[in-house]
């Protein structure tokens, strides 16, 4: 039983939902438009101000896809109405971030600068305050794309376990290891 898949999705005011014959769901809102191809074993219908997903059988595969597509469509609806934000923090001496349009320039302790081109669907902003770690603020209506770009930025210099230096999400709690001096007592 898919508990997530059985919950209806409430359509907010000003959001349009179109369901194609080929099981393609399009969601259009004030921030943008997203589409998702849905598995043929899952039926998507619009009742009043709700989107309802039903599955054709009780097989394990159909149950898992029922919850998956419900979550994907719900993320699309939230994205085009409210949007998503990710704030990343650069922890380390000399770590810098700067953006020129959609190109993000990072200085992460390597012998060279890293230039990363951000897709046009994502708005990027860098904040550098004296005495604080530099921040990278990403915002978009597409949750999947935003997560991919944030993961790519983080992979350029993952936080290391001893001092915590690297690129991390704001509010992320890192488990630090004790160094060599912790063993000697």
pLDDT at 48: 87
- Which tens digit of pLDDT belongs to each residue from 44-78? 999 889 999 999 988 888 988 999 999 999 999 99
Cα Rg of the chain (Å, integer): 21
Give residue 184's pLDDT band: very low, low, confident or very high (50, 70, 90): low
Give residue 183's pLDDT band: very low, low, confident or very high (50, 70, 90): low
Domains in the chain, please, with CATH?
Answer: 3-81 (3.90.930.12), 84-169 (3.90.930.12)
Main-chain phi, psi angles of 6, to 5 degrees = -80, -20
Residue 185 has pLDDT above 60, yes or no: no
DSSP H helices in the chain = 3-6, 60-81, 143-155
pLDDT at 182: 66
The packing angle between helices 60-81 and 143-155, to 10°, is 90
- What single-letter DSSP state applies at residue 182? G
């Amino acid at each position: 039983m898919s508990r997530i898949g059985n919950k209806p999705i409430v359509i907010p005011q000003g959001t349009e939902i179109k369901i194609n014959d080929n099981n393609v769901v399009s969601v259009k809102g004030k921030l943008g438009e997203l589409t998702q191809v849905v598995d043929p074993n899952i039926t998507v219908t619009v009742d009043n101000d709700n989107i309802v997903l039903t599955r054709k059988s009780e097989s394990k595969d159909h149950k898992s896809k029922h919850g998956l597509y419900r979550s994907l469509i719900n993320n699309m609806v939230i994205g085009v109405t409210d949007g998503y934000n990710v704030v990343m923090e650069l922890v380390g001496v000399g770590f810098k971030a700067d953006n020129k349009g959609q190109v993000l320039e990072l200085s992460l302790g390597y012998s060279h600068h890293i230039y990363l081109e951000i897709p046009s669907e994502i708005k990027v902003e860098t904040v550098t305050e004296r005495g604080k770690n530099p921040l990278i603020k990403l915002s978009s209506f597409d949750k999947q794309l935003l997560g991919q770009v944030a993961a790519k930025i983080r992979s350029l210099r993952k936080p290391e376990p001893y001092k915590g230096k690297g690129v991390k999400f704001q509010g992320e709690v890192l488990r630090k290891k004790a160094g060599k001096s912790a063993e000697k007592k």
